[in-house]
């Protein structure tokens, strides 16, 4: 469990990092909190949100003596950041985790640096909004957090990490990095790219159609408003799993085109009914 005397260092105070800082302030008020960002200018936004943390632009200094390090930067930047953090001396039982949307490449890059100190995490929380300005202390409330342990060492580090995520509001599930990347490609990365495709297909050749949109279009395409830079990194890091799911989506679209091309009313009804049935198995969001 995170002790009151712990030092927690968050790298990358954007939406997730900023929300974690706010949640930690609420739930662990005695913890010594540190925030690292690449630029000094980031400190102003952090202070405007009322985050009371020591601010660093030196990655090694921010990690010195830390009990828990949480990497909240884009996944493609984590290996270089880890190399700097590795020069610091962490607390004797210090842990390193991340919040990246891809686990296979992150684990392959960070385990050789940190060994059994590193356990990957992915809280399934977020928004199409970005930056510390959008951070919320309750962002992780009732969210699922996927953790991906790969070593068979002492159970204490895993239990500490599990307890931390539960303390900030998450329900924790364990799986391998490979299982994570497959499942997240299905239920996060594919839907994002399909929202992008829908937006482009609908508006690229007729931008004026936006004047007619209603809630259906807004709901279906909301996540397409996400940061292109962030999603470029995610898509490339999880390219193999995402390609598999996009190919499955392409085959399903071909199936629909063939049904409409006939046309076959009964087959179309079955196609739509199957989707309705599967959609009804999705748990309602918990507020």
Highest mean pLDDT among 29-43, 154-168, 224-238, 258-272: 258-272
In this predicted structure, the answer to whether residue 183 has a pLDDT above a threshold of 80 is yes
Task: Give the domain extent around 102.
Answer: 7-175
Residues 106, 33 share a domain: yes
Residues 33, 169 share a domain: yes
Least confident of 31-35, 124-128, 149-153, 177-181: 149-153
Q: Are 148 and 119 in contact (CB under 8 A)?
A: yes
In this predicted structure, the answer to whether residue 286 has a pLDDT above a threshold of 70 is no
In tens, the pLDDT along 187-233 reads 999 999 999 999 999 999 999 999 999 999 999 999 999 889 989 99
Residues 186, 167 share a domain: no
Q: Provide the number of structural domains found in the chain.
A: 2
In this predicted structure, the answer to whether residue 4 has a pLDDT above a threshold of 70 is no
Q: Which of 111, 116, 35, 112 is nearest to 70 (CA)?
A: 35
Average pLDDT for residues 10-27, to the nearest whole number? 94
Residues 146, 61 share a domain: yes
Q: Is residue 139 part of a domain?
A: yes
Q: Which two tokens stand for residue 122?
A: 């992915």
Q: Is residue 286 part of a domain?
A: no
Residues 130, 38 share a domain: yes
Cα 246 to Cα 2, 189, 243, 252: the distances in Å are 40, 10, 5, 10
Residue 287 Cα to chain centre, angstroms: 19
Which of 120, 143, 175 is where one domain is finished?
A: 175
Residues 116, 41 share a domain: yes
Quick one: which H or E segment has residue 203? helix 190-203
Residues 146, 81 share a domain: yes
pTM of the model: 0.89
Residues 14, 121 share a domain: yes
Residue 8, helix vs strand vs coil: strand
Instruction: Put residue 247 in one of left, alpha, beta given phi > 0 → left and psi -120 to 50 → alpha.
Output: alpha
CATH label of the domain that carries residue 257: 1.10.3660.10
Residues 42, 152 share a domain: yes
Please state the φ and ψ torsions of residue 9, each to the nearest 5 degrees.
-115, 125
Return the pLDDT at 195: 98
CA distance 253 to 189: 17
Return the pLDDT at 5: 66
Cα dihedral 154, 156, 158, 163, rounded to 10, equals 170
- Whole-number average pLDDT of the chain: 93
Residues 13, 35 share a domain: yes
């Amino acid at each position: 469990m995170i002790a009151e005397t712990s030092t927690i260092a968050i790298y990358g105070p954007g939406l997730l990092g900023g929300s974690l800082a706010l949640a930690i302030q609420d739930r662990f008020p005695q913890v010594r909190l540190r925030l690292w960002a690449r630029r000094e200018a980031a400190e102003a936004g952090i202070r405007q949100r009322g985050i009371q943390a020591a601010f660093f632009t030196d990655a090694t200094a921010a990690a010195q003596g830390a009990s828990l390090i949480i990497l909240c930067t884009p996944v493609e930047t984590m290996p270089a950041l880890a190399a700097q953090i590795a020069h610091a001396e962490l607390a004797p039982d210090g842990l390193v985790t991340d919040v990246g949307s891809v686990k296979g490449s992150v684990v392959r890059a960070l385990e050789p640096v940190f060994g059994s100190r590193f356990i990957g995490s992915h809280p399934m929380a977020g928004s199409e909004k970005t930056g510390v300005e959008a951070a919320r202390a309750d962002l992780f409330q009732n969210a699922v957090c996927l953790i991906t342990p790969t070593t068979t060492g002492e159970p204490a580090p895993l239990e500490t990490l599990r307890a931390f995520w539960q303390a900030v509001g998450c329900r924790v599930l364990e799986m391998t990095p490979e299982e994570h990347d497959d499942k997240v490609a299905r239920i996060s990365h594919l839907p994002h790219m399909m929202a992008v495709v829908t937006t482009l297909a609908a508006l690229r050749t007729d931008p004026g159609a936006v004047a007619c949109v209603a809630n259906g279009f807004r709901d279906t395409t909301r996540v397409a408003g996400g940061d292109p830079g962030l999603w470029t990194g995610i898509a490339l890091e999880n390219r193999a799993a995402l390609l598999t799911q996009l190919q499955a989506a392409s085959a399903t679209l071909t199936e629909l085109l063939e049904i409409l091309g006939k046309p076959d009313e009964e087959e179309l009804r079955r196609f739509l009914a199957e989707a309705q049935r599967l959609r009804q198995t999705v748990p309602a969001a918990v507020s």
